């Protein structure tokens, strides 16, 4: 599952987002040498980290970030149109429009790299299509280093096309790309990558229990599985025992209610 973090539910992920920004610093600044980036409070940030931004997060079992992607409406600003417009051919359709969003800051932490993290990375790409389609988006745009383009074209599961010729920038050579968003694209990607068609997990902050998001994900996985409800109850009891000194009675009852809803509705309290 890929956690969809919006302005509405961002408070649920406050600590996780701080860790994500720190990992962005490690990946882009320390490992890739993008020295022009802004680092503050140990994390990497830029003007596109605003209230319109949606973050896609793959979380490990301990709650740490395995991989991440950022997406936001291109109509109100994007790296491609604002900073690298020369990467887009003059005859391309306009990108500053409501049905076009930009994807950026796609990275994997060390735990999310290699074959072990391949599924999570594929789930993030699928989730980006699901989130975009749900918001009426038709095209995702971005830029990619030239050496990463061939596998993106042939093995990512995305329907990708280039928007212009490659050109150098301070840290390499980049090319602008577009990813098609459609129901067919979602189905094709899920089939080609061996995934369920639903990868995105968008928690409702008004209904989600006050426990870490990765633990909510674990409960939802149980509720969606073919397992007996007793297994979910056992998992809940164990978690309640661990949290009884940290949570008040109202929070504990809220957690019980949430799991009950999962058992009755198989995820009704989750927005896809």
Average pLDDT value for residue range 116-135: 96
Check if the beta carbon of residue 68 is closer than 8 Å to that of residue 105. yes
Closest CA to 124 of 178, 12, 222, 201: 201
Burial class of residue 183, CB neighbours in 10 A (0-12, 13-18, 19+): exposed
DSSP 8-state secondary structure symbol assigned to residue 90: T
Both tokens of 227, joined, read: 């397992």
Res. 269: pLDDT tops 70: no
Residue pair 265/229 in contact by the 8 Å Cβ criterion: no
Query: In the structure, what pLDDT confidence band is assigned to residue 159 with cuts at 50, 70 and 90?
Result: very high
pLDDT tier, 272 (very low <50, low <70, confident <90, very high otherwise) = very low
> How large is the average pLDDT for residues 46-53?
97
**CB-CB contact of 54 with 128 (8 Å):** no
Distance CA 99, CA 42 (A): 34
Query: Quick check: 68 pLDDT over 50?
Result: yes
User: Quick check: helix, strand or coil at residue 59?
Assistant: strand
Token pair of 180 as six digits: 């098609």
Q: Which domains does the chain have, with CATH numbers?
A: 2-203 (3.40.630.30), 213-271 (no CATH)
pLDDT of residue 220: 76
Q: How far is it, in rounded angstroms, from Cα 217 to Cα 267?
A: 11
**pLDDT at position 66:** 95
String of b and e for 130-157 (b: at least 16 CB within 10 Å)? Answer: bbbbeeebebbbbbbeeeebeebeeebb
Distance (Å, rounded) from C-alpha 233 to C-alpha 242?
A: 14
- Where do we find the tokens 């961002």? 10
Q: What pLDDT does 217 receive?
A: 86
Location of structure tokens 């600590």: 15
When pLDDT is averaged across residues 172-200 and rounded to a whole number, the result is: 95
Q: Write out pLDDT tens, residues 230-252.
A: 666 666 666 666 766 767 777 77
């Amino acid at each position: 599952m890929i956690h969809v973090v919006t302005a509405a539910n961002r408070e649920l992920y406050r600590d996780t987002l701080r860790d994500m920004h720190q990992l962005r610093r490690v990946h882009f600044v320390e490992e890739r040498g993008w020295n022009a980036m802004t680092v503050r409070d140990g994390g990497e940030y830029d003007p596109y980290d605003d209230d319109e931004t949606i973050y896609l997060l793959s979380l490990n079992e301990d709650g740490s970030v395995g991989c991440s992607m950022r997406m936001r409406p291109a109509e109100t600003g994007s790296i491609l149109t604002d900073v690298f417009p020369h990467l887009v051919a003059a005859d391309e359709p306009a990108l500053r429009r409501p049905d076009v969003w930009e994807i950026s800051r796609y990275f994997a932490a060390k735990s999310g790299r290699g074959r072990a993290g391949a599924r999570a990375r594929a789930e993030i790409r699928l989730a980006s299509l699901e989130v975009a389609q749900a918001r009426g988006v038709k095209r995702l745009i971005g830029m990619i280093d030239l050496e990463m383009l061939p596998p993106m074209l042939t093995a990512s599961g995305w329907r990708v096309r280039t928007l212009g010729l490659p050109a150098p920038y301070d840290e390499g050579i980049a090319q602008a790309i577009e990813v098609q968003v459609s129901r067919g694209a979602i189905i094709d990607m899920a089939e080609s990558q061996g995934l369920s068609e639903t990868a995105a997990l968008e928690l409702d902050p008004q209904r989600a229990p006050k426990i870490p998001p990765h633990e909510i994900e674990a409960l939802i996985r149980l509720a969606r599985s073919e397992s007996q409800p007793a297994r979910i109850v056992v998992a809940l009891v164990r978690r309640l025992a661990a949290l009884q000194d940290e949570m008040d009675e109202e929070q504990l009852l809220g957690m019980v209610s949430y799991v009950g809803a999962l058992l009755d509705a198989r995820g009704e309290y989750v927005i896809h």
